[in-house]
A and B are shown apart, each in its own frame.
Chain A
Amino acid sequence: MTGLPGGASVAGLLARVRSLYRGLRHRADVESDMVEEFGHHLAERTDDLIRQGLAPDAADRQARREFGHAGTHRAQAREAIGLRSFAQLRFSWLDVKLGLRMLLKHPMLSLAAVFALAVGIPVGLAPSHIARALEAPLPGDADDRVRAIRFWDPLSSGVAPTWDDEFTFWQATLHSFSSLAAFRTSTYNVSLADGPSAPAAGALLSASAFNVLRAGPLLGRVLDSGDFAAGAPDVVVIGYALWSSRFGRDPGVLGRSIRIGRTLHTVVGVMPDGFRFPANEELWLPLRLASVGGVDERTPVRVLGRLADGVSVQQAQAELSSTGVPPLINADDAAERSRLRPEVVPFGLLYLGLPAGGLDSLTEFRFVQMLMFVLLLVACGNVAMLVFARTATRFRELAIRTALGASRSRIISQIFVETLLLAVVAAGVGVLVVNWALAHVNLAALAGESALPYWLSLDVTPATVFSALALAAVSATVAGVAPAIAITGHAFSRNIRDRSGVHFGGLTSALVVADIAVSVAAVGMALAISAHATDLQAANRATGIAASEYLAVEFRLPADDRGFTGARADLGARDRLRARLAADQRALVAALEQEPGVKRVAVGDVLPRMEHRSRPYELEGVDHAPDAPRRWTRLARVDAGFFDALERPILSGRNFVRTDAEQDAQVAIVNTAFVERVLEGRNPIGRRVRFPLAADTGSAAWYRIVGVVGPLGVDMLNAERGEAVYLPAAPGTINPMQLGVHAVTSPASLTGRVREVARTVDPDLVMGRVSVLSDVRQGDWYLVMGLAAGLVLLVGVLIALATSGLYAMLSLSVSERTREIGIRAALGASRPSLLATILKRSLLQIGLGAAIGLPIAARFVFELTGTPDGGGSVLRSMALALGLSAGIVALVGLSSCLVPTRRVLAIEATEAIRAES
C-alpha cells in the first residue's frame, strides 16, 4: 500500500500537497492535535483497564507502557506527513556568518556570481516592472479611481476613435462615474505678443477634466464652466515649463496675453511642476464641443472619468457594456461601430493603445518576458556551476559534518543560505545599478521621444525591491539547491566512504554543455546582427534617394476650431480646415521652391527612410485563399510632384498628375520590389489593387496601377526588398504632412528659412520635427541597433560567466581524476595519450555545446533577414562567429583542462595515487 493509488494519482497528489501545506502553515495546530489525540487514547485505554479491575494508578501506568514513547510516535507521525525534512531545514545566524565567510574566502568566485545575478535579476524583473508602471494610477490619483473609457476594435487590435457625441452620451447615461472628461491634444504655435513663435504641445480639455484629475493650479485658477460658454473670452492655463521659459516664472503672469496661432489668449492659471496631462503638454484650452452637427462635424476625443464612490471597475465595465454605445447616426456608421467593444481601462493603456489586459496580454511581451527569464536562468546556471565547484572543494568539511550527524537537508539548507546571501547582495547591487541608470539615462531619447509621459514613473518602488528579493530567492533555489542536491545525492555517502571526493555527473555535464551552447549562440547572434546593421547602413546609402540632400520637415495645422477661427466650431469646419490646409500646402511649396537654396519640395504623409504604414492588400486577379494569411504592403500618400522632387524617375507607365487626386481618379504607383515580389516581374500596369479593412470583404475601392518607380527606401531592414504602393493625395488631405525639401547645398542650413516662410504663409501652421533625411531613423533601425547593443552586452556577460563557470567546472573535473591519471601513468600510459583521455570529455562537451548553439544562431539569422544565409556578409559573419565563439570557448575550456592536467602530469604516478588514498 505504498505509492500513489493508481488511477487516482492526481487526487492523491493534491491531498498530499494540501496536507503538507496545512502542516507547514498551521504547524502548531498539527502538533497540539497530536498531543490531544494521544492524550485521548491514553484516557480511553486507562478507563478500559480500570473497568478490567486495575487500580487507577496502575491502569494509567499500564496504558502509558503499552502506548510507548509519545515523542517517538509524534516524530513518526511528522515523518508520515512529510514534515520531518522541513523540520531539518533550519536557518541560523551561523549559516549566515558561514555564508559571509565563504563570500570573502572565494572573492573572485563571489564577484563572478554576484555579477551574474546582478545582471540576471534586474533583467528578469524588468518586464513586470514596466507592465506595472504602465497601469499605475495617474499622479494625484492616490486612490486609483481614474479610468479611461475607449472603444477597442478587436479586428484591428487597436483603439478606435471615440467621437464627441459618444462622450456626451456617456456623460448623460453612465452612473458608474462621478464625472467624465474629454480631451484632445495638438501642437500650437505659441508666442508672446508679437515675439517669435515656437511650437508647444497643448490639450483641449472639457469642463470637468481638472476635477476628474483632482489637479489644482499653482497660480490663478483652472478652467471653469464660464470658459466654455459661447462667446466667452479666450483663456489658457499654462504649464510650469511654459511659465518658466516664456514668463521667467513671473508671479504676475495672470491676465497677460499669449498668442496661440493667430488668437490672443489670456493666462488665467499656472499648473504646478509635474502636471503635463495627458503626456507632456504645456498649455490647456477649453474644449468646446459642437452642440449641433452631422456626422461630418463629429470630432474625435479621448475620454476619462472618476469612478463613483463604491463602484468597482468591473461594475463600471458592466454598465458601459450594457449601455455603452449611443444611438448611431447613420447606417454605414452602425455597421462599422457595431463591432467595437467599449472598455474601462487604466489611463496608460488608453494612451499607449494597449489591449485591456495590458502588456501581459501581448504574445510579444510574453515572449520577451520568457527571454528575460531564460537569461536569468542562464545566469543561475552559471552561478550553480560556481557553487558546485565551490562546494566540491569543501567535500572534506561536508564529510565531517555528515559524520557528526548533519542530515542531507541540513547541508542543503546551509548551501542554500550561502547562495541566498550571494543572490541578495546581487539583487541589491542590481537594483542600485538600475536606480542609478534610470536617473542618468534618458529613456525618452531611447524610445525616440522628447520626454516620457508625465505619469510614467519607472522608479524603483518597494514592490520592485520585494520582487527583486523574491527573484533572489528563486535564483538561490536554482543556483544553490540544485548543486547541493547533486553533491549530497545517493553517491555522497559512498564517496565519503571511498574518500573519492565529488564526482561530476550528468547535471554538471548538462550545465557545461548548456553554457557553451548559449555562449556560442549569443556570439553568433551578436556578430550576425552587427554585420546586418552594417549591411543596412551600406544598403541604405546605396539605395533610394540622395537622402543627405533633403531636409525633412513636418507641418500640421491644428485640427480644432481654436487655431483658425478663434471661436467655436460651426457647420463645415472640417471642409474649411481642409481647404485652408490645401491653400497652405500650395503656398508653402510654391514659396519654398522660390527660395534660392531649394530645388524642389516633395509632400507626402511619409518620406523615404521614415516608418511607412503597413496595410493589408488584395491584387485583382491573383488567387488568394480566403483563409490564407493576408498580405501586407507599405503604403504612402504623396502629392503629384513627389517622385520628381525626389529625382526618382518613373520606370514604366506614367507619373501622377494633379488631376489624379483632385478628381479622385483612384490610381496607384508601385515600386519595383512590389513588381518583383508580388507579381514576379509581370507587367503591373493596368492591374488593380485595394486595401480592405479586416472586416471589409468587398466594399474597399480599387486602385489602378499606372506606374512603377524604383526603390526609395521604405524598409530600413531591407532597402531593396520593401514593397510599397503610392497613392495620390490632393493638397489639404494630409495632416500632418512631411515636406522633403531638396537643398542645393546644406539642407540643415535651410531650417530657419523654412520656419520663416511657413510663418508668413500661415501663423497657425505648426512646424514639427526637422532633420536631414539621411539622419531619419525608422523604429526598425532602432530595434536592430538596440538588439545589437543589447546582444553585445549580453555576449560580454555570458562570456564572462561562461569563462568563470567553465574554468571552475572543467579544472575541478580534471583535478578529481588525479588518482585515475596516476594509475594510468603508473601503468605506463604516455603523456600524449593521457592528455587525450583527459581532454576527450571536455572536448566532447565543447563540441556538443557548439553544435547546439550554432543552429540557434543560424535560425536567428533566418528570422532576422528572411533568408537562410542572410546575404553574403551575414553568412561570412556567421562563419566568423563560429570561429570566434568556438575559439573563445575552446580557449577557456582547454586552458581550464590543461593547467590542472599539466599539474597532475608533473607529479609522480605513485605520489598521485598516495595523495588521493
Chain B
Amino acid sequence: MAPSAALLPGNLEMVILKAISLGDVHGYGVLLRIEQISGGAILVQQGALYPALYRLEHKGLIAARWGTSDNNRRAKFYHLTALGRRQLSKEQNSWQRLADAIARSLTATLQET
C-alpha cells in the first residue's frame, strides 16, 4: 500500500466526483472506491464524507436515488449530473495544469531558469 496523502482543502469534492463518475455508488462505496483508485493513498475521514456528498448534491453536481446494495440493503446511490461532469472535467484540467506547473518548478535546474 502506498503511503497515505493528505488532501488539500477543496480537493475532497473533486476526488468524490471522480469516484462517482466511475459508476453509481452509495456513500460507503465512495470511501472504498477512493481508497481503491488512489491505491490506498487517500483515506477520507468518514465524518467528512457525508457533508461533502450533501454539498455536491446541493450544488446540483451529483444526484441520488434509493436502490438496493450488493448486500441487499436499501442504500442511497449517487450519480454524476451533466453539471457535475462538466465541473469534474474543468477541475481535472485545472488540477493537471497546476500539477504540471508544480512538477516543472520542482524539477527545474539553474540552466532552465
Give the interface of A toward B (CB within 8 A).
1-2, 4-8, 11-12, 14-16, 18-20, 33-34, 36-38, 40-41, 43-45, 47, 66-69, 72-73, 76-77, 79-82
Contacts and interface: CB of A to CB of B under 8 A. Distances in A.
Contact of A47 (B27, B47, B52, B71): B71
Nearest to A37: B76
Contacts of B51: 73, 76-77, 79-80
B47 A72 contact: yes
B46 A41 contact: yes
Contact of B86 (A2, A5, A36, A41): A5
Interface residues of B, number: 32
Contacts of B83: 5, 8, 11-12, 15
A15 B86 CA distance: 15
Interface in B63-97: 69, 71, 73-76, 81, 83, 86-87, 90-91
The 8 A-B pairs with the shortest beta carbon distances in the complex, nearest first, are A15-B60, A76-B51, A80-B55, A68-B47, A80-B54, A77-B54, A44-B28, A81-B58
Contacts of A69: 47
Given A1-B14, A76-B51, A12 B60 contact: yes
B11 A1 contact: yes
Contacts of A47: 71
B-side binding surface: helix, strand, loop or mixed?
A: helix
A41 B13 contact: no
Contacts of B90: 5-6
A164 B6 CA distance: 88
Contact of A16 (B28, B52, B59, B71): B59
Q: Report which residue of A4, A6, A18, A67 has the largest number of chain B beta carbons within 10 angstroms of its beta carbon.
A: A67
Given A12-B83, A19-B57, 17 more contacts: A2-B10, A5-B83, A5-B90, A6-B90, A11-B60, A15-B59, A34-B50, A36-B74, A38-B50, A41-B46, A45-B46, A73-B51, A77-B50, A79-B51, A80-B54, A81-B57, A81-B58
A25 to B, nearest CB: 15
A8 B10 CA distance: 19
Contact of A8 (B55, B58, B73, B86): B86
A33 B46 contact: no
A68 B90 CA distance: 33
B19 to A, nearest CB: 14
B61 interface: yes
Given A5-B87, A11-B83, A16 B27 contact: no
A40 B59 contact: no
Contacts of A11: 60, 83
Nearest to A7: B86
Nearest to A69: B47
Q: Report which residue of A38, A41, A67 has the largest number of chain B beta carbons within 10 angstroms of its beta carbon.
A: A41
Contacts of A6: 90
Contacts of A12: 59-60, 83
A37 B50 contact: yes
A23 to B, nearest CB: 8
B71 A44 contact: yes
A448 to B, nearest CB: 58
Nearest to A34: B50
Given A12-B83, A40-B73, A5 B59 contact: yes
A44 to B, nearest CB: 4
A68 B46 contact: yes
Contacts of A40: 26-28, 69, 73-76
A66 B46 contact: yes
Contact of B58 (A67, A73, A82): A82
B43 to A, nearest CB: 11
Interface in B7-64: 10-11, 13-14, 26-28, 45-47, 50-52, 54-55, 57-61
Contact of A14 (B27, B60, B86): B60
Contacts of B86: 5, 7-8
8 contacts: A1-B13, A1-B14, A11-B83, A15-B60, A40-B27, A44-B69, A80-B52, A80-B58
A79 B52 CA distance: 11
Contacts of B28: 40-41, 44-45
Contacts of A67: 46-47
A306 B101 CA distance: 78
B50 to A, nearest CB: 5
Q: Report which residue of B11, B26, B28 has the largest number of chain A beta carbons within 10 angstroms of its beta carbon.
A: B28
A441 to B, nearest CB: 54
A7 B90 CA distance: 11
A517 to B, nearest CB: 42
A45 B71 CA distance: 12
B69 A16 contact: no
Contacts of B76: 33, 36-37, 40
Contacts of B13: 1
Contacts of A7: 86
B92 to A, nearest CB: 12
A85 to B, nearest CB: 13
B69 A81 contact: no
A797 to B, nearest CB: 45
Nearest to A6: B90
A66 B28 CA distance: 12
Contact of A43 (B10, B14, B73): B73
B58 A76 contact: no
A11 B86 CA distance: 12
Nearest to B61: A5
Contacts of A43: 71, 73
B50 A15 contact: no
B68 to A, nearest CB: 11
B27 A41 contact: yes
A693 to B, nearest CB: 55
B35 to A, nearest CB: 11
A396 to B, nearest CB: 37
A16 B47 contact: no
A12 B11 CA distance: 19
A564 to B, nearest CB: 76
A104 to B, nearest CB: 43
Contacts of A16: 58-60
A30 to B, nearest CB: 9
A47 B74 CA distance: 15
A19 B47 contact: no
Nearest to A19: B58
A81 B55 contact: yes
A379 to B, nearest CB: 37
A217 to B, nearest CB: 65
Contacts of A66: 46
Contacts of A34: 50
B73 A44 contact: yes
Contacts of A81: 54-55, 57-58
A751 B74 CA distance: 92
A47 B54 CA distance: 25
A68 B55 CA distance: 19
A429 to B, nearest CB: 43
B30 to A, nearest CB: 10
A20 B28 CA distance: 25
A8 B57 contact: no
B96 to A, nearest CB: 15
A300 B11 CA distance: 78
Contacts of B87: 1, 5, 8
A37 B58 contact: no
Contacts of A14: 60
Nearest to A23: B58
A370 to B, nearest CB: 35
A737 to B, nearest CB: 71
Contacts of A33: 76
B34 to A, nearest CB: 14
Contacts of B46: 41, 45, 66-68
B84 to A, nearest CB: 9
A401 to B, nearest CB: 29
B45 to A, nearest CB: 8
A52 B16 CA distance: 25
A20 B91 CA distance: 25
